[in-house]
């Protein structure tokens, strides 16, 4: 059985407004996830759930774009935002608990954001 879900692409600038609207409509934050789609392009999905319907807000950013934090509306979002920063190198501004890259420590910085070929020293 197909689970109901929708993907709404938005701009980085609209993010805070749309998330605030979700919060006011009583949505629950299900996850924030990042996907590498090009050499320096990333898709970030903000998934919200209400009555088992999933609504995804999607922004497309580069590693240099500053993404505003949504921890003002959803306090618990800090785990995802720190993860996003530590694994992909996305710059998130204004997280309430900012680990500054120490939430998930890896030998290679931003392991999911860089491509490393075999034998090459990063």
Binding site residues, other proteins, CB under 8 A? 1-3, 5, 7, 23, 28-31, 33-37, 45, 47, 49, 52, 54, 56, 74-76, 78-80, 83, 86, 97, 99, 102-106, 111-112
Q: Which is nearer to other proteins, 13 or 105 (CB)?
A: 105
Pairing of strands 66-68, 28-36: unpaired
**Could you tell me the smallest distance in angstroms from the CB atom of residue 11 to other proteins?**
20
Closest contact distance (angstroms) between CB of 68 and other proteins is: 19
Query: What is the closest distance, in whole angstroms, from the C-beta atom of residue 4 to other proteins in the complex?
Result: 8
Say if residue 115 is exposed, middle or buried (CB neighbours under 10 Å; 0-12, 13-18, 19+).
exposed
* CB contact at 8 A, 64 and 91: yes
Q: Show the CA angle centred on residue 100, arms to residues 7 and 10, nearest 5°.
A: 20
């Amino acid at each position: 059985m197909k689970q109901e879900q929708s993907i709404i692409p938005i701009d980085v600038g609209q993010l805070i407004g749309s998330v605030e609207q979700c919060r006011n409509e009583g949505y629950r934050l299900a996850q924030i996830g990042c996907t590498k789609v090009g050499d320096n392009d990333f898709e970030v999905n903000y998934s919200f759930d209400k009555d088992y319907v999933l609504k995804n807000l999607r922004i497309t950013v580069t590693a240099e774009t500053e993404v505003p934090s949504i921890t003002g509306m959803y306090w618990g979002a800090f785990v995802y935002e720190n993860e996003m920063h530590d694994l992909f190198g996305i710059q998130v501004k204004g997280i309430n608990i900012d680990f500054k890259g120490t939430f998930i420590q890896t030998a290679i910085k931003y392991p999911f954001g860089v491509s490393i070929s075999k034998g090459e020293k990063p």
